[in-house]
A and B are shown apart, each in its own frame.
Chain A
Amino acid sequence: AQSVSQHNHHVILSEAASLELGCNYSYGGTVNLFWYVQYPGQHLQLLLKYFSGDPLVKGIKGFEAEFIKSKFSFNLRKPSVQWSDTAEYFCALGSSNTGKLIFGQGTTLQVKP
């Protein structure tokens, strides 16, 4: 069965600190991986996605993620966080056939000014 696990449920950082949020998935086939973000009071929006090719993908607002097939991981990174990055972050695995998304439980990031 397909599943996604996010290890950090709540992360607190100071501005300018580096960020890495863990995401592991379970699936033996072709993977389509996503990171979505939900800022306070806003709807879910796409940060970045990986389908194939370069395993290091860059998204909006300086975020990037690295797909490591051998580790079944797709961790999200940002070198220097800002207060405006305070949000909930979701990793998701997409079905190749239907596009259905299987989400992790989410990580709440709080950035202190």
Chain B
Amino acid sequence: EAGVAQSPRYKIIEKRQSVAFWCNPISGHATLYWYQQILGQGPKLLIQFQNNGVVDDSQLPKDRFSAERLKGVDSTLKIQPAKLEDSAVYLCASSPLAGGTNTQYFGPGTRLTVL
């Protein structure tokens, strides 16, 4: 079974530039999560999708971050404009369904450096 795919793996940009990350979840997984992991901290949820609807985006900085999940499969996360504090690893995860008993499967992450 193929895992969660993410691209790019690394990205270096200057502040005020824009950047986009892509995630392809495990086939058939209805729920998709984006997490932000700052160095030395645990991952923090940014947004959760159930199929193509948003379940939770309470921690997404909506003035600069946006995300969409086209047709309930792939997802993109965008930052525009980027700030220095956005330097982090952005993790995508998927699970078959929402709910606390479901295991989340994580992708390799995209490491973003903002200069």
Q: A residues near B, CB below 8 A?
A: 4, 30, 32, 34, 36, 42-46, 49, 51, 90, 92, 94-106
Give chain A nearest CB distance to B103 CB in angstroms.
5
Give chain A nearest CB distance to B51 CB in angstroms.
14
In the complex, the answer to whether A105 meets B40 with C-beta atoms within 8 Å is yes
Contact with A along B89-113 (1 / 0, CB 8 A): 0010101011111111011110000
Q: B residues near A, CB below 8 A?
A: 3-4, 31, 33, 35, 40-45, 48, 55-56, 91, 93, 95, 97-104, 106-109
The main secondary structure of chain B at its interface with chain A is loop
Instruction: For the A-B complex with A30-B100, A105-B42 known, give 19 more contacts whose Cβ atoms are closer than 8 Å.
Output: A4-B42, A32-B101, A43-B4, A43-B109, A44-B43, A46-B103, A51-B100, A51-B101, A95-B100, A98-B55, A98-B56, A98-B100, A99-B48, A99-B98, A99-B102, A101-B35, A103-B44, A104-B42, A106-B42
In the complex, the answer to whether A105 meets B41 with C-beta atoms within 8 Å is yes
A82 to B91, CA, bound (A): 28
In the complex, the answer to whether B45 meets A100 with C-beta atoms within 8 Å is yes
In the complex, the answer to whether A92 meets B42 with C-beta atoms within 8 Å is yes
Give chain B nearest CB distance to A97 CB in angstroms.
7
In the complex, the answer to whether A101 meets B108 with C-beta atoms within 8 Å is no
In the complex, the answer to whether A44 meets B91 with C-beta atoms within 8 Å is yes
